Amino acid sequence: MSLEAVMGSGAAAAGHWVAVIGGATAGAEVAAHLADKQVNVVVFDQNPRPYGKIEDGLPRWHEALRKKEYHLIDDKLTRPRVHYVPLCKIGRDVDFDDLTDRWGFSVVVLACGAWRDRTLPLPEAARFVGKGLVYQNPFVVAFNHAEAPGQPGPPLADGALVIGGGLAAIDVAKILMLETTRRALALQGVDAPLVELEHKGIPAFLTAHGLQFADLGLRACTIVYRRREEDMPLVEIQDGADAAQIDKTQKTRLRILHHAQEKFLFRVQPLALAEAILPDEDGHVRALRIRRAKAKDHDTLTPTDDLFDMPTTLIVSAIGSVPEPIKGVPLRGELFDFSDWHLGRLASHSNVFSVGNVVTGRGNIAASRKHAREISESAVAAFLGLNADRAAESEVAFQLSAPARSQAQNVAHAVAIQLETQVPPASSTLLTRVHALQARVGYTGDYAAWIAAHPPRA
């Protein structure tokens, strides 16, 4: 039922109304769970489509996984009692305090993800943005939409450096290696479709064309990681793990990392503390100054006096993502100041819950895995494109978003319990205000028609 139809039906409009800010995996799960309990839900999303990091943060070679996630989100946002408001950013188009205090929503759920890159903590780093320094989020978004008309694609350079560790850094390194390899092959008259190259891996693709990587004249990109390779958080060490379990997890991490390096040919510089970006005479990036470190274990990192420079013209910072600040939501450092991190509660707003990456401070589909008791090595390998069976791979990689859905269900359950103890606030203007936001962007209440008219670009 469209919101316009609800406005004409007093019975349908009665009861609790919940605002969900963000419509991707976690937000859609909360919306569907509450709607199934006969709660009315309005989902606000800042983008035309509600797919969030599934569309803009998941590299575009994940075709099957992306389509699967799209379908799940669509299914949940077309449930009865769920109403969608596209192109509406809270804090810009609507005040957060209006939603929580004045519009008549019983509860507001933050599910807006982590879209802002952590600032690279190097001297004068900001002056190099656009001059050889780029952050992970805009880099991946540019890559995902590179085939759209008028889109330039991400900046590329042979010998690029990726600062960071984990799955996000490997995704960036893969993009750099695949795209620079495709460009070098094009100069030799060889067409290298992205998905085929990613699926086969660079060495196998080159062998099939009678080539070796050395024939391309490329140096490869390097991940600059501050800790040891076995400390890279590709698989989480479970709380309370003993020495044997830690050793097993670290060996799994190394196995995954080295497999990815063999297939995509990026390098890793471990125990490397980035100290400064060095400019050329025009103010562009020419090198990254590194201080070597020593480590006996994950908890011990000791800087040394050994400095060296890594020449490069491109640095991609992939050190993590945090939520964008919203006026009215208190901050503690770079994260929202939650009084309850399990349910994302705010001491300043008793009717606010939060779910997904906005709570974890993680910025990609795989990073939510920490909420699970265990994510298999095969799931991480599938996400990184290391399995031979690509059809089965999407099913295995799909495990990575299961923790986000599980956490969202827990939050939705807590919201439902709170709603049972309170009387719905009386507001004759809530539906009028929401309908006006929909009409402002031309949304008629037909979700399927809207998505068909505004399809994902990739």
What's the chain's average pLDDT? 88
SS3 450: helix
pLDDT tops 90 at residue 316:
yes
CA distance 259 to 251: 12
d(CA 273, CA 270): 9
**Average pLDDT, integer, range 292-319:** 95
What gap in Å lies between CA 155 and CA 360, rounded to an integer? Answer: 29
Report the C-alpha gap between 19 and 309 in whole angstroms: 50
Q: What is the C-alpha to C-alpha distance for residues 33 and 35, in angstroms, rounded to an integer?
A: 6
Token pair listed for 48? 């035309």
Angle at 199 between CA 198 and CA 204, to 5 degrees: 85
Do the beta carbons of residue 161 and residue 315 sit within 8 Å? yes
Q: Which residue has the higher pLDDT, 370 or 397?
A: 397
DSSP string, 146-197: TTSTT-------TT-EEEE-SHHHHHHHHHHHHHHHHHHHHHTT----HHHH
Assigned token pair, 248: 């097993």
Q: Which residues contact 51 (CB under 8 A, 6 or more apart)?
A: 23, 24, 69, 70, 73, 456
How high is the pLDDT of residue 356?
A: 82
Domains of the chain: 3-115+321-373+400-453 (3.40.50.720), 119-318 (3.50.50.60)
b/e map of 232-244 (b: 16 or more CB within 10 Å)?
bbbbbeeeeeeee
- What DSSP assignment string belongs to 407-443? HHHHHHHHHHHHHHTSPPPP-SSHHHHHHHHHHHTT-
Decide if pLDDT at 13 tops 70.
Answer: no
Give the largest CA-CA distance in the chain. 73
Whole-angstrom distance, CA of residue 53 vs CA of residue 55 = 5
Beta pairing partners, 302: 294
Say which residues have a Cβ less than 8 Å from residue 368's Cβ, sequence separation at least 6. Answer: 356, 357, 360, 362, 400, 401, 403, 404, 407
- Dihedral sign of CA atoms 20, 22, 26, 31 in order: positive
The better pLDDT of the pair 124, 409 is held by: 124
Whole-model pTM: value is 0.86
Mean predicted confidence (pLDDT) in 20-37: 92
Secondary structure class of 286 (helix, strand, coil): strand
Q: Which tens digit of pLDDT belongs to each residue from 357-383?
A: 877 665 554 444 343 334 456 666 766
Long-range pairs for 275-281: beta carbons < 8 A, 24 or more residues apart? 275/122, 275/307, 276/122, 276/123, 277/122, 277/123, 277/124, 277/125, 277/128, 277/132, 277/133, 277/315, 278/309, 279/128, 279/131
Specify the long-range contacts of residues 181-189, CB closer than 8 Å, at least 24 apart: 181/216, 181/218, 183/156, 184/216, 184/217, 184/218, 185/209, 185/211, 185/216, 188/215, 188/216
Give tens-digit pLDDT for 126-152.
Answer: 999 999 999 999 999 999 988 888 888
- CA distances in angstroms from 247 to 27, 167, 283, listed in the order given: 36, 20, 45
Residue 388 — very low, low, confident or very high, per pLDDT cuts 50/70/90? low
